Amino acid sequence: MTREELVRTIRTKRSLLCVGLDTEESMLPEPFRSLHHPVRAFNHAIIEATHDLAVAYKLNLAFYEARGTEGWQDLESAVALINKVGGCFTIADAKRGDIGNTARKYAEAFFTNLAFDAITLSPYMGRDSITPFLGQRGKWAIVLGATSNEGAADFQFLNVGNANVPLYEQVIKNVSRWGTPNDLMFVVGGTRPDVLKAARAAAPHHFFLVPGIGAQGGDLNAVLDAAITPDGGLLINSSRGILQAGKGDDAVSKARQAALGLRLEMEAALRRRGVL
């Protein structure tokens, strides 16, 4: 999906919502547990129930790899359904990062074979671990800038170099020179508005993928205030808040309600800021 298509989708759906399909077998609502492929069936139900509200879906690879071949098939099945339904941006939340020949293999795995639009990447190994994912029309690298977890402070917030800026800012500044706002985004956590503001100053035109809303404590309106752009510029992820909205027969309709609630808040914010 190109940037123009993504922005058009945001405006049509009046949404910045990314649904995180971090689906855990042990957390599935009761009615799905006895099914033949429980994770697959639940993901399909969630996709069917939310695809008109969601701009994007993010699948965290760990949750699928933890279940081996069966998990990998669930992953393939979910992406295939999202692509069949159409009109949604797909993110492999893989946080990969490796040398050039290996990075090219990951690009093959996620862009070509699984047909994801985007993959998340760690910047630690530098330029040749990122560039193999750039320059392919409609495909995106989403590089970790500042994450929303406690451990982010250990290295991302250390001051670096002569300019004495935190590492995450230096990462955003340097990496943004390797790609363009058409093939490169950044992960910026939603728990610290000051960090979102600094990240936005470092990369005014790039989309940010924002985790950390909900379970991790980030406030949606504070995120929008800090980092929205004239074309939206944000994909705001919610995983547990949607997947675990209900426990019983109403789990899927509760998930839709949760997604709709977020979408309505996003729409109001987009209107206030003239994006819609």
Minimal distance, residue 138 CB to its own copies, in Å: 20
Instruction: Please report whether residue 194 would count as binding its own copies according to CB under 8 A.
Output: no
Q: Of 81, 109, 268, 276, which lies in the binding site for its own copies, with binding defined by CB under 8 A?
A: 109
Q: Which residues within the stretch 1-30 sit at the binding site for its own copies (CB under 8 A)?
A: 22, 24
Q: Which one of the spans 78-86, 143-151, 200-208, 268-276 is the region binding its own copies (CB under 8 A)?
A: 143-151
Of the pair 115, 260, the CB lying nearest its own copies is at: 115
Q: Which of 29, 123, 190, 218 binds its own copies (CB under 8 A)?
A: 123
Which residue of 4, 5, 30, 65 would you call a contact of its own copies, by CB under 8 A?
Answer: 65
- Tell me the C-alpha to C-alpha distance, in Å, between residue 233 and each of 7, 39, 55, 200, 265: 8, 31, 12, 10, 16
Q: Is 136 a residue that touches its own copies (CB under 8 A)?
A: no
First to last CA, the chain: 20
48 touches its own copies by CB under 8 A: no
95 given a catalytic annotation = yes
Q: Which is nearer to its own copies, 232 or 241 (CB)?
A: 241
Asked if 210 and 236 touch (Cβ cutoff 8 Å), the reply is yes
Segment interacting with its own copies, rule: CB under 8 A, options 7-15, 37-45, 66-74, 253-261: 66-74
Least distance in Å: CB of 51 to its own copies? 24
- 171 part of the interface to its own copies, by CB under 8 A: yes
Q: Provide the minimum distance between the beta carbon of 101 and its own copies in the complex, in angstroms, as a whole number.
A: 8
**The three-state (H, E, C) secondary structure of the chain, written as one string:** CCHHHHHHHHHHHCCCEEEECCCCHHHCCHHHHCCCCHHHHHHHHHHHHHCCCCCEEEEEHHHHHCCHHHHHHHHHHHHHHHHHHCCCEEEEEEEECCCHHHHHHHHHHHHHHCCCCEEEECCCCCHHHCHHHCCCCCCEEEEEEECCCCCHHHHCCCEECCCCEEHHHHHHHHHHHHCCCCCEEEEECCCCHHHHHHHHHHCCCCCEEECCECCCCECHHHHHHHHCECCECEEEEECHHHHCCCCCCCHHHHHHHHHHHHHHHHHHHHHHCCCC
Total of chain residues touching its own copies, rule CB under 8 A:
55
Among 7, 59, 167, 235, binds its own copies (CB under 8 A): 167
CB proximity list for 275: less than 8 A, separation 6 or greater = 10, 11, 228, 230, 231, 232
Task: Please select the residue that binds its own copies; options are 73, 77, 83, 257, rule is CB under 8 A.
Answer: 73
Q: Which residue in 13, 95, 247, 254 is the catalytic one?
A: 95
Of 30-38, 144-152, 190-198, 251-259, the window that binds its own copies (rule: CB under 8 A) is 144-152
The residues annotated with a catalytic role in the active site are 95
Q: Give the footprint of its own copies on this chain (CB under 8 A).
A: 22, 24, 60, 62-63, 65-69, 72-73, 76, 95-100, 102-103, 105-106, 108-109, 113-114, 122-130, 144, 147-156, 158-161, 167, 170-171, 174
